[in-house]
Amino acid sequence: KTVDKGGCCIVKISEIQRGERFSFSGFRWLAIEPTDSGTYALLDSVPELLKRRPFANLSTRRGKDLSDWKNSLARYVLRHTFLPELLSQNDQHAELLEMAVDLTALDGTGSSTFEDTIALLSLSQYQKHSDVIGETHAEFWTLTRASKKILDEMLTIKSDGTVRVNADPKFSASELRPVILLAPESEVEKEVQTEEAQA
């Protein structure tokens, strides 16, 4: 371990416990699921770039599937705008891994997985880790749709932690809070509590 001048301790992500917050590439993250293959982390400090965003592209033609994660505006923004910024600031020898994303709908239809380097929480992930996520300052999108049979209903998490079926992914604006999987040897900044902070 090394401590930098800003009062942060540089540690391996494998040393971060579930529910702990840490900094990576200039952003604050919440560790939600440490595993042998790496640690799943949820973005905790959402930049303006990812606030008030529709899930689906506004130019999507009527009758097209607005609830498809693979072709969503949300995925495009995360992969082509936020991810490059994240990687450009990565000077901590951290590695982002591909992860299996669960695309099963709320009603069980469309059961499938998809490989991604960055994604949103699935409903099942949120339910599993809601105890450490807690209440948030704003409503945010999941990547889980209500049903494969319905083209325009996505699930969002309200600020009080309740799940809502959002029937307007094209015009409704919520936060994009991405999930990443950091390799075990990745270095991150863990906040060091000073004696003043503990008092």
For residues 94 and 183, the answer to whether their CB atoms sit within 8 Å is yes
Residue among 46, 19, 21, 22 nearest 32 (CA) = 19
Rounded to whole angstroms, the Cα distance separating 173 from 198 reads: 38
**Which pLDDT score is estimated for 89?**
85
- Could you give the residue ranges of the DSSP H alpha helices within the chain? 73-77, 83-88, 123-133, 195-198
Residue 16 burial (C-beta neighbours within 10 Å; 0-12, 13-18, 19+): buried
**Which pLDDT score is estimated for 197?**
44
Q: How confident is the model at residue 143 (pLDDT cuts 50, 70, 90)?
A: very high
Q: How confident is the model at residue 191 (pLDDT cuts 50, 70, 90)?
A: confident
Rounded to whole angstroms, the Cα distance separating 29 from 50 reads: 14
Q: Which amino acid is at 131?
A: D
Taking CA atoms, 25 is separated from 13, 33, 69, 127, 134, in Å, by 13, 19, 25, 27, 23
Tell me: pLDDT of 75 over 50: yes
Three-state SS for 150? coil
**Which pLDDT score is estimated for 195?**
47
For residues 115 and 98, the answer to whether their CB atoms sit within 8 Å is yes
**Which pLDDT score is estimated for 60?**
74
Q: How confident is the model at residue 5 (pLDDT cuts 50, 70, 90)?
A: very low
- Report the predicted TM-score, pTM, of the whole model to 2 decimal places: 0.90
The mean pLDDT value for 126-148 works out to: 95
